Copies of this chain bind each other. A is one copy, B any other.
Amino acid sequence: MFSQTCQVRFSHCDPAGIVFFPQYFVMLNGVVEDWFTHALGIDYAQLIGQRLVGLPTVSLQCDFAAPSFMGDSITYQLQVERIGKRSITLNVECIGTDGPRLKLRQVLVTTSLSKHQSMDIPGDVLDALNRWQNETGATS
């Protein structure tokens, strides 16, 4: 499991004073970036920017349990559900100090940003994913 705590910022919140739901996905993307760079050892910015491997989302299911307020600390806990040939399925829970905030399932696919077509997960990324799965004791 990869775990990261985010601060709920003024900029994440709406006129109701709670996180505007798309902002949870903006934060999620930051968590995925850091998971790649720091846990998998695959530099996310380089993967996208230099290697031109995209990681667009093809499927997202999310249930929201409770609102998050400005100033809250919320923790994203990321697990890999499945590693496909061209896709990675993540299960993510986001938890506040007082209980769950949301639970989501996200399917990412690897694409060539020069051709805008799906492509196989690059070998080093696949190795890193499998190694991380083994180390964290999860089953894929």
Contact = CB atoms under 8 A, between A and B. Distances in A.
A49 B15 contact: yes
Contacts of A9: 29-30, 33
Interface of A: 7-11, 13-18, 20-23, 25-26, 29-30, 33, 37, 43-46, 48-49, 54, 56-64, 67, 69-71, 113, 116
Contact of A70 (B8, B18, B22, B49): B49
Give the copy number: 4
A94 to B, nearest CB: 14
A22 B26 contact: yes
Given A9-B33, A16-B54, A45-B70, 7 more contacts: A10-B14, A10-B44, A10-B48, A22-B23, A45-B69, A45-B71, A49-B71
